[in-house]
A and B are shown apart, each in its own frame.
Chain A
Amino acid sequence: MTAQFNRQQQLNGAGEDVILRVENLKKHFIVGRKGVVKREPITVKAVDGVSFNVNKGETFGIVGESGSGKSTIAYITMGMYLPTSGTIYFGERDLFDKRNQRAIDLKKEIQIVFQDPGSSLNPRRTIKQILELPLRIHQPEKDRLREVIRLLDMVDLPRDYMHKYPRQLSGGERQIIAVARALATDPSVVILDEPTSALDVSVQGKVINLLIRLQKELQLTYLFITHDLSVMRNLATRVAIMYLGRIAEVAETQRFFEQPQHPYTQMLLSSIPVLTEEEEALKPERVLSTGEIPSPVDIPTGCSFHTRCPAVMDVCSEVDPLMVRASEEDRDHIVRCHLFDQTEPVRIHPT
């Protein structure tokens, strides 16, 4: 691990401790079969060869539109799906060495906050019952009432909320309960799957600032998944952008927003409706969004973005581009595009 590991850190700009290592992850779903005799499977390549590292204490963001596979990555990390190939390491431990029987102490370490707090909290259970479940499983020796109260205090909700049902809470409060439940197992990694996209803007800030405070207090690592670039800008330390199951570009947040290199990143950034002239100026020179997102059943050959790319070249429809450095000055800025020199591909993980 040693020599290789050091080299890998240099390549990926990772800090000392990589907490999650995603290695060439693939997830193909069989959605149907075609043909009368042969019955060839129709597959959706939801995630198709994704590698990245998440460092301890950082907020690694994944953005993408529907069908990009960002949520699939979250669900695989949680063990809700098994990867088709590739794997994820938590520290030194392979999350899938026992297939779907994940050890209870690994379940404790990685928790998730789902997108829709309306669906992620059981409507027939009180807040107390909801928060007690992880405590009962992972910390059976502790006094549960005390722990529930401690959790509510920690997220700044009144103690009497424990006897309420989710429907008696506002959307923001429900999501805060979902955060408290995720933290009840005392995890080290929390996956945030669109945690604020179902919320109104006036409460979104409260949830995000709570997440930021808790990250500091509890030394959490976040894997933050969203389609909302404005939220991403203010929360993530590094951002990866996905398109049809693959990463198109990875960079440190400020660089990602100020010097986006991949044409898709530019298109996405220039599509966002913003509020101020200042933000308008920050958007890349208007790259008009064109075309439809292709069906994930039928991903275009070569670079999957070539059907919509304003800078498309002949090679794009034939050869799949490699992950390469976008510039010499920042070695962590990686892009998958033929506009950049393909001779020196970056290998995120040495094989």
Chain B
Amino acid sequence: MTTQALVKGQVYEQEVEELKRIQRQNRRDSFGRAWYKFSANKLSVIGLIMVVTVILLAIFAPLAAPYPNHVKPFVDYNNDKAAPSAQNIFGTDQFGRDILSRVIYGFRFSLMMGAVVLTLVVPTGVCMGMVAGYYQGTIIDTVIMRITDVFLSVPPLILALAIASILEPNLTTSMIAVSAMWWPWYARLVYGLSSALRTEYFVSSAETIGASTWHILFREILPNMVSPILTKMSLDMGWVIIIGSMLSFLGLGVQEPQPGLGTMISKGKDYLPDQWWISIFPALAIVMVVLGFNLLGDGLRDLLSAEEV
């Protein structure tokens, strides 16, 4: 092929700039389109607001909490089990600590739980599932997916309990426990997606061009799985927080005097129904976080679905 004869014009710096401008404009346009889709469902927007609120409260907890020192060892028997009032909006607990402050700090532990677990779980599960799906029908597939099945066959909460009780019960071990039971779900999801994608012509095309397996997995297949993975992550964030709180409730997670939401419910349940605020407000806080992430997840699903608007 005579390359020269086919060149119709030279590339000028100016033209490259112009092309970059178009690229930026495309990005802006797709952002507007995405927001249009997302905001079509009011519940998704509410979910987003809830999630953002919780995250901001967690980050700025020292500023947002009226009594930051109540999350440290602190006792004030003069003011214990006080009902909600202007001083203590959510009331105080059996040691006289401000529940609102402890709930705000509690978000920190919950969100950290979710974030750490997902950062451990998602890359592991995605890589395992993606490789197994791409090599569907081979020995690689069999080995990976049987390991996954083993993990899936153990009842998740029992696995978590076992791990958390073998190791020292604290936030770290509960995160390890939840991660161990969680990654196979990502492997499963991604396995299905990846084995479907590998038969797409664009994958065949990359193979026949001679692209490396690395390129095919991470550049061709992975980007097409981002939407369902993100959606699942958002929904899972809520679930992980619930499980984390459950472990705390059972005494296997966040330990006193740290303000875990589950721990707070657990301690507060002894004072039900008379001093209901001690356990009900932390419970509502969990509901808010979980509901927020679920609504956000639904919104993301709408947003990332292939349907054009």
Contact = CB atoms under 8 A, between A and B. Distances in A.
A122 B211 contact: no
B19 A163 contact: yes
Given A104-B210, A122-B220, A125-B223, A114 B204 contact: yes
From B9, B22, B206, B209, residue with most partner A Cβ within 10 Å: B209
B26 A107 contact: no
Interface in B1-30: 1, 3, 6-9, 11, 15-16, 18-19, 22-23, 26
Given A80-B204, A149-B11, A134 B209 contact: yes
B209 A107 contact: yes
Given A112-B205, A119-B200, A163 B26 contact: yes
Contact of A125 (B18, B208, B219, B308): B219
A159 B16 CA distance: 10
Contacts of B224: 122-124
B8 A107 contact: no
A133 B201 contact: no
A288 interface: no
A28 interface: no
A162 B19 CA distance: 8
Nearest to A164: B26
Nearest to A152: B8
From B6, B15, B202, B224, residue with most partner A Cβ within 10 Å: B202
B196 to A, nearest CB: 11
A120 B208 contact: no
B205 A181 contact: yes
Nearest to A120: B201
A223 interface: no
Contacts of A217: 6
Contacts of B22: 160, 163
Contacts of B7: 150, 153
A227 interface: no
A218 B306 CA distance: 38
Given A133-B215, A163-B19, A107 B1 contact: no
A119 to B, nearest CB: 4
Interface string A118-160: 0111111100000001100110000001100110011000011
B28 to A, nearest CB: 13
Contact of B211 (A133, A154, A162): A133
Contacts, number: 83
B267 to A, nearest CB: 49
A48 interface: no
A138 B208 contact: no
A251 B44 CA distance: 63
Interface string A153-195: 1100001101111010000000000100100011000000000
A252 interface: no
Contacts of B11: 145-146, 149
B1 A120 contact: no
A253 interface: no
A329 B23 CA distance: 61
B36 to A, nearest CB: 16
A119 B200 CA distance: 6
Interface in B160-206: 200-202, 204-206
Nearest to A75: B204
A284 to B, nearest CB: 35
Contact of B206 (A79, A124, A133, A162): A133
From B26, B200, B201, residue with most partner A Cβ within 10 Å: B201
Given A119-B202, A122-B220, A137 B19 contact: no
A66 B9 CA distance: 44
B207 interface: yes
Nearest to A167: B308
A186 B210 CA distance: 14
Contacts of A133: 206, 209, 211, 215
B211 A137 contact: yes
Contacts of A137: 209-211
A11 interface: no
A116 interface: yes
A112 B1 contact: no
B16 A107 contact: no
B139 to A, nearest CB: 16
Interface of B: 1, 3, 6-9, 11, 15-16, 18-19, 22-23, 26, 200-202, 204-211, 215, 219-220, 223-224, 226, 306, 308
Interface of A: 75, 78-80, 104, 107-108, 111-112, 114-116, 119-125, 133-134, 137-138, 145-146, 149-150, 153-154, 159-160, 162-165, 167, 178, 181, 185-186, 217-218
Q: Which 7 A-B residue pairs are closest in the complex by CB-CB distance?
A: A124-B223, A120-B201, A163-B23, A122-B202, A114-B201, A107-B210, A119-B201
25 contacts: A78-B204, A78-B208, A104-B210, A107-B209, A107-B210, A111-B208, A115-B201, A120-B201, A120-B202, A122-B220, A133-B211, A133-B215, A134-B209, A145-B16, A150-B6, A153-B8, A159-B19, A160-B18, A162-B19, A163-B23, A163-B26, A164-B26, A165-B26, A167-B308, A186-B1
